[in-house]
């Protein structure tokens, strides 16, 4: 039990940009923070969620009412990767929940959620009326907000005005796996399970920074990872994708990578009212009518009406009919808005890695 938390957790508040305030109790890092307030309706998988770089700059509301009951796993590593997390650290700006479990129990737990959040300097509040805040965001749309502790005032901050990808991408190329097929991976804030999913299929993964010049190298296929923020901030990445397409090298984009491929092809993207963040988003493959339950985390989408000739919508979201995938008529360039690597979430879409590698020639 985090007995010290019971004694020391102080009152704090969430302030939305529309002026509404919600009181809570601090159980994370003791400092104020500002960002974009978003909600996730998933019921499990918070260690993977909190380490997803796509949450950079965001204050995350979890609608599931109880958090912390199974603690946080160890930071064990295998083959260069953290076993239980999607990156090397917590990535979200702040956390808002309804109820925090001061007791945790799990065979794999190494420490409490509160201890882990403090180590990674993430402010967090419990006692927040998450249902009411989520209703506000669904009705009014995603908005800016801030967690303020005591007299530590901060200004509102819009992370989408920044190039967040440059903050979460690696600094220099890294190589994984030993296969004869070389897949270049543009790291826009890549989840570890994307790399793991490729390496497990016997390919060599060459992970490069978001603005790396791919023209000087040879590779068999290109994967564009997930990541945070507005895709239009990544002009260098869009240029590299466009040049790779011109070289007729197969391309597969995931989440932000999907939006970047669309922009490289000449399509447009736009901001959703409140995004898709959960592990139960239903999508349907347009040609086959095959339905998948998918893990998603994004605030922007591809405009179907802006797709150029020779590009077709591939998947559609069954909740709001927004675009969930595109494919070139050649079949060599494709992308999906959801996460086939899951982690957390269902693995219905895992086969898409196999389909892409078939296009590559494996």
CATH assignment of the domain containing 43: 3.50.30.20
Give percent above pLDDT 90 in the chain. Answer: 93
Q: Are residues 196 and 307 in the same domain?
A: yes
The pLDDT of residue 156: 97
Q: Are residues 171 and 67 in the same domain?
A: no
The pLDDT of residue 320: 97
Q: Are residues 281 and 138 in the same domain?
A: no
Catalytic residue among 84, 298, 328, 339: 339
Q: Are 300 and 232 in contact (CB under 8 A)?
A: no
pLDDT digits (tens, 9 = 90+) for 231-283: 999 999 999 999 999 999 999 999 999 999 999 999 999 999 999 999 999 99
Q: Are residues 169 and 147 in the same domain?
A: no
The pLDDT of residue 5: 47
Residue 4 has pLDDT above 80, yes or no: no
Q: Are residues 130 and 192 in the same domain?
A: no
Catalytic residue among 48, 115, 324, 341: 341
Place 80 in a pLDDT band, splitting at 50, 70 and 90: confident
Give buried/exposed letters for 342-354 (b at 16+ CB in 10 A, else e).
bbbbbbbbeebbe
| Mean confidence (pLDDT) of the chain | 95
Catalytic residue among 36, 255, 324, 328: 255
Place 10 in a pLDDT band, splitting at 50, 70 and 90: low
Residue 292 has pLDDT above 50, yes or no: yes
The pLDDT of residue 317: 98
Q: Are residues 271 and 186 in the same domain?
A: yes
Task: Give the CA distances from residue 192 to residues 85, 87, 312, in Å, rounded to whole numbers and listed in that order.
Answer: 8, 6, 29
The pLDDT of residue 154: 95
The pLDDT of residue 243: 97
The residue out of 161, 196, 231 marking a domain boundary is 161
Residue 67 has pLDDT above 70, yes or no: yes
**Which of 72-86, 127-141, 146-160 is predicted most confidently?**
127-141
Number of domains in the chain: 2
pLDDT digits (tens, 9 = 90+) for 118-138: 999 999 999 999 999 999 999
Spell out the residues 6+ positions from residue 7 whose beta carbon is closer than 8 angstroms to its own: none
- Provide the token pair at 87: 């990156």
- Provide the token pair at 39: 């909600």
CB atoms within 10 A of CB 18: 10
Q: What is the DSSP string of 249-303?
A: --EEEETHHHHHHHHHHT--EEEEEEEEEEEEEEEEETTT--EEEEEEEEEEEE-
Give this prediction's pTM.
0.96
The answer to whether residue 339 is catalytic is yes
Residue 3 has pLDDT above 70, yes or no: no
Q: Are residues 103 and 169 in the same domain?
A: no
The answer to whether residue 291 is catalytic is no
The residue out of 126, 161, 196 marking a domain boundary is 161
The answer to whether residue 341 is catalytic is yes
Q: Are residues 228 and 241 in the same domain?
A: yes
């Amino acid at each position: 039990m985090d007995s010290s938390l019971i004694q020391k957790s102080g009152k704090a508040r969430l302030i939305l940009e529309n002026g509404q305030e919600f009181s809570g109790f601090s159980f994370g890092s003791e400092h104020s923070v500002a960002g974009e307030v978003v909600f996730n309706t998933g019921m499990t998988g918070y260690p993977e969620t909190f380490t997803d770089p796509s949450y950079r700059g965001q204050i995350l509301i979890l609608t599931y009412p109880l958090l912390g009951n199974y603690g946080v796993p160890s930071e064990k590593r295998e083959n260069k990767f953290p076993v239980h997390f999607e990156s090397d650290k917590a990535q979200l700006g702040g956390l808002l929940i309804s109820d925090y479990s001061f007791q945790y129990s799990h065979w794999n737990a190494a420490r409490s959620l509160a201890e882990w959040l403090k180590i990674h300097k993430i402010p967090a509040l419990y006692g927040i009326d998450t249902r009411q805040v989520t209703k506000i965001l669904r009705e009014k749309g995603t908005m800016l907000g801030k967690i303020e502790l005591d007299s530590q005032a901060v200004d509102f901050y819009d992370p989408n005005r920044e190039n967040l990808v440059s903050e979460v991408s690696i600094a220099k190329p890294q190589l994984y796996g030993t296969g004869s097929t070389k897949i270049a991976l543009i790291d826009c804030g890549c989840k570890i399970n994307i790399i793991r999913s490729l390496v497990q299929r016997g390919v060599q993964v060459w992970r490069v920074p978001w603005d790396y010049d791919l023209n000087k190298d040879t590779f068999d296929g290109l994967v564009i990872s997930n990541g945070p923020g507005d895709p239009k901030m990544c002009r260098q990445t869009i240029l590299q994708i466009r040049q790779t397409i011109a070289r007729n090298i197969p391309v597969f984009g995931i989440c932000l990578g999907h939006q970047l491929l669309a922009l490289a092809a000449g399509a447009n993207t736009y901001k959703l009212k409140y995004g898709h963040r959960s592990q139960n988003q239903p999508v349907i493959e347009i040609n086959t009518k095959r339905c998948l339950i998918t893990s998603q985390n994004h605030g922007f989408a591809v405009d179907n009406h802006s797709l150029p000739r020779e590009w077709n919508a591939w998947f559609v979201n069954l909740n709001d009919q927004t675009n969930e995938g595109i494919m070139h008529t050649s079949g060599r360039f494709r992308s999906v808005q959801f996460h086939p690597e899951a982690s957390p979430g269902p693995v219905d879409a895992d086969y898409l890695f196999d389909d892409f590698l078939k296009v590559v020639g494996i």
